Chains A and B, each alone.
Chain A
Amino acid sequence: MKRIATLLLMTLLLGGCTALPAEERSFAVALGVTHTEGLWTASARIPTYQTGGGYTTVSGEGASLESALGALDAASPMELDLGQLRLLVFSAELARSERFPGALMTLAARQDLRMGAALAVTQEDVQALMDALTPTTGSRLSKSIDVLLETRIGQGTLLHASLSEVMRMGERQSPVLMNAGLESGALTLSGGWPVSADGRATEPLSPEETQLLALMLGCLQRGTLSLPEGVVRLTGAQAESELSLPTLQGASVRLTLQCVSSPLTDEALSQAVATACLGVLNRLSGAGCDALGLGRQAMMHAGDMAQWRQVDWPARYRELQWSVSVGVTGPAR
């Protein structure tokens, strides 16, 4: 009985050890990061918790990203929590600089940050973009962003790129980050920013190019495919990419498309898709972005990391000879 009484008394002490209750925290929905003229700025979009809802932007500046995040914590009206983060937006200037990989590592090292947050790059002013973040569907910004992401990824104009996925790619695959923009004062997400082997973003891909890449990655299996020759309606698509081993000099991509409507004959469609895909692959290859993850196949033939480094995969990837074959089954014309 004494022990039970002691245990019950001790549970009273546990309350002081727990973290803050949810209503005393600012759950950031989006985080913007820029680096201009030696100054890092971190901006967070947080709910105001006022009647009728609403969101506000808080910012912090510093000489390093850590200090900017510290200033952001200090500027927040309540303890800032990044555990519900949906979107991480970087300025194009920062994404193209050599500071970008370090910034991603710093953010990934924060234990309280939600690793499932989508990574986006914008050519717009980050502060303006953060201020423009309001729910376009429903009343919650987080849900609104989730819905927008799901829709665009389903359409293939956006590739899934969360902080977790990018970190888990390691040296074996290069991510294509999302392109964020503003249209009529509202957030738009379409297109992609290929990231090279050195971790820097390169020239962005258009939504159409991103769609072709999604097709080659097997992420786009049904829906509409926009080609210069017209729009194709897909009911099924299969993709397979293979690296020529052990020479590592060539790679082939095989696509099988099933379509219900197309402005072209099967042969012409096959030729058009192959040409368009080859253009995207050559762009990616030139940028040093292994978006298809062929490095994963190459890695499986290395005995240890020293051998892998000797292979110098980024250099070999840039010189790969691509071949694309497309099989089409669709409406006879």
Chain B
Amino acid sequence: MTRNAPVRTPEESAALRRRGERRARAALIRLLASTSILRTALTRIVPEAGCSAWWLTLLCLLPGLAVYAVLSLLMRRTGTDTLTGLLRRCLGRGGAVLLSVLLGVAVLLDGLSALTALITLFTEGIGTRGTQWTLALLTGGVLCCCLHREGLARGAYLLRPVLLGAAALLAACALPGLHADGLFPMLGEGLPAVKSALCTSWSLAWPLLLLLTLPSEKSRARLQDACPVVTVATAVLLLLALTLPHERLTEPASLAARLLLPARHASNALQMLWQCLLMLTLFLSAGGAARLTADFLASPLRREVRWLPWAVLVALTLPQLLPSAALIRWLDGAEAWLLLPFAALAALCVPNAVRWRKRP
């Protein structure tokens, strides 16, 4: 029995191809957003909030989700299907250019954080031979080979089952060691620590806004697009709280030790699996950030700038010449405010979007 492939018109084939590219892009953005949120939560929220980190992370995601929801509503009202379209309609071409630059800078900072975390993981966590700079050069060199067109996006899309499968295996192995009292005391170190974590991490959900740069397959499914990212981050933190007591979560530790904490008490094989998962996601996240930054910065020019991805890669790699502690401190400070410009843009769009009427 033979099965013939369905005959498609060139238009149908092109539409299918576009849908595939869009899904691959969405997978890359979700990976970047999940990695960014989880990395920030593990390195900034958990040390301050301890066992309350899981719900505090949800709370820190709310400002970003609110901006996301407002922008989605405005897009629906103005009949635009991307964030760039909304800004162009509400603020003119200048608004769209400003958005592209802001997104480019924000994603570049996120990529820099991911790369710094990856290099620190190599040097301090796994104990790989080599200095911060040589490992940055090596990672940058490997990234060079991955920046070809949509290669990273397709890679992220194809690796989804592998990444989720590894995460599910780690979670399943952690289940026998869970203790319900790990969630208590609910307020962790108390209200001052909660306030401090909120102040430093209120921008946590800004990467979700990247999902708005893609046309949605269903016009009313914007919030559903963000759900997997929020669910993954919350589930990991919930498991962490159930596995380790508050006293252990708030102990002073290096960035690499914080990233390795979720599997620190697991068996050697599971620790290795977590390290591989971290390395892969951070690498894809840094590479994805380089690709997206180049795309955002090139979009106002309306033509492909072939050298831009390589320039972005150099911009990601060069800061690794700085001492890692200073770099991490500086990035933490900058990342705490990344949502602000997008919230301001949303506020600027509201009056125009409310006044906007569809022409008959």
A304 to B185, CA, bound (A): 5
Q: Which of A296-330 contact B (CB under 8 A)?
A: 296-297, 299-300, 302-308
Q: 1/0 per residue B46-67: CB within 8 Å of A?
A: 0000100000000000000000
User: Which listed residue (B129, B144, B177, B184) contacts A299, Cβ 8 A?
Assistant: B184
Do the beta carbons of B245 and A169 come within 8 Å of each other?
yes
Q: Which of A142-194 contact B (CB under 8 A)?
A: 164, 167-172
List of A residues within 8 angstroms of B197 by Cβ? none
B243 at the interface (CB under 8 A from A): yes
Do the beta carbons of A303 and B138 come within 8 Å of each other?
no
Q: 1/0 per residue A5-35: CB within 8 Å of B?
A: 0110010011011110000000000000000
B247 at the interface (CB under 8 A from A): yes
A169 to B181, CA, bound (A): 11
A3 at the interface (CB under 8 A from B): yes
B125 at the interface (CB under 8 A from A): yes
With A10-B142, A17-B135: A168-B127 Cβ-Cβ less than 8 Å: no
**Shortest Cβ distance from residue B275 to the other chain A in the assembled complex, whole angstroms:** 11
Do the beta carbons of B248 and A167 come within 8 Å of each other?
yes
Do the beta carbons of A168 and B244 come within 8 Å of each other?
yes
Closest to B181 in A: A296
Interface size class of A (residues with CB under 8 A): 35 or more
User: Which listed residue (B190, B191, B265) contacts A167, Cβ 8 A?
Assistant: B265
B221 at the interface (CB under 8 A from A): no
A6 to B260, CA, bound (A): 32
B303 at the interface (CB under 8 A from A): no
List of A residues within 8 angstroms of B122 by Cβ? 17
**Shortest Cβ distance from residue B3 to the other chain A in the assembled complex, whole angstroms:** 34
A30 to B187, CA, bound (A): 40
**Shortest Cβ distance from residue B51 to the other chain A in the assembled complex, whole angstroms:** 9
A304 to B141, CA, bound (A): 48
Closest to A170 in B: B245
A10 to B134, CA, bound (A): 12
A14 to B122, CA, bound (A): 12
List of B residues within 8 angstroms of A303 by Cβ? 185-187
Q: Which of B184-226 contact A (CB under 8 A)?
A: 184-191
A36 at the interface (CB under 8 A from B): no
With A10-B142, A19-B128: A307-B185 Cβ-Cβ less than 8 Å: yes
Do the beta carbons of B127 and A305 come within 8 Å of each other?
no
**Shortest Cβ distance from residue B46 to the other chain A in the assembled complex, whole angstroms:** 15
B145 at the interface (CB under 8 A from A): yes
A10 to B139, CA, bound (A): 10
Interface size on B, residues (CB 8 A): 39
Do the beta carbons of A116 and B267 come within 8 Å of each other?
yes
A241 to B123, CA, bound (A): 46
User: Which listed residue (B127, B145, B179) contacts A111, Cβ 8 A?
Assistant: B127
List of B residues within 8 angstroms of A300 by Cβ? 180-181, 184
B163 at the interface (CB under 8 A from A): no
Closest to A105 in B: B251
List of A residues within 8 angstroms of B244 by Cβ? 168
Do the beta carbons of A10 and B148 come within 8 Å of each other?
no
User: Which listed residue (A7, A10, A14, A115) contacts B265, Cβ 8 A?
Assistant: A115
With A111-B127, A170-B248: A305-B188 Cβ-Cβ less than 8 Å: yes
Closest to B148 in A: A3
Closest to B191 in A: A304
**Shortest Cβ distance from residue A291 to the other chain B in the assembled complex, whole angstroms:** 15
**Shortest Cβ distance from residue A243 to the other chain B in the assembled complex, whole angstroms:** 12
Do the beta carbons of B248 and A168 come within 8 Å of each other?
yes
Do the beta carbons of B177 and A304 come within 8 Å of each other?
no
Closest to B129 in A: A17
Q: 1/0 per residue B320-332: CB within 8 Å of A?
A: 0000000000000
Do the beta carbons of B145 and A6 come within 8 Å of each other?
yes
Do the beta carbons of B184 and A7 come within 8 Å of each other?
no
**Shortest Cβ distance from residue B280 to the other chain A in the assembled complex, whole angstroms:** 15
A168 to B190, CA, bound (A): 21
**Shortest Cβ distance from residue A267 to the other chain B in the assembled complex, whole angstroms:** 36
**Shortest Cβ distance from residue A186 to the other chain B in the assembled complex, whole angstroms:** 28
A54 to B188, CA, bound (A): 50
With A17-B135, A167-B265, A306-B190: A172-B245 Cβ-Cβ less than 8 Å: yes
Question: Which residues from chain B sit less than 8 Å from chain A, CB to CB?
Answer: 50, 122, 125-130, 135, 138, 141-142, 144-145, 148, 177, 179-181, 184-191, 243-248, 257, 260, 264-265, 267-268
| Closest CB pairs A-B (n = 10) | A170-B245, A170-B247, A304-B187, A296-B181, A304-B190, A164-B265, A302-B185, A7-B145, A300-B184, A304-B185
Supply 13 further A-B pairs (C-beta < 8 A) apart from A17-B129, A170-B248, A296-B181: A7-B142, A7-B145, A13-B138, A19-B128, A19-B129, A109-B257, A111-B125, A164-B265, A172-B181, A300-B181, A303-B185, A303-B186, A305-B246
A-B contact pairs, 12 of them (CB 8 A): A17-B122, A17-B130, A19-B129, A84-B268, A170-B247, A172-B245, A297-B181, A304-B185, A304-B190, A305-B188, A305-B189, A308-B185
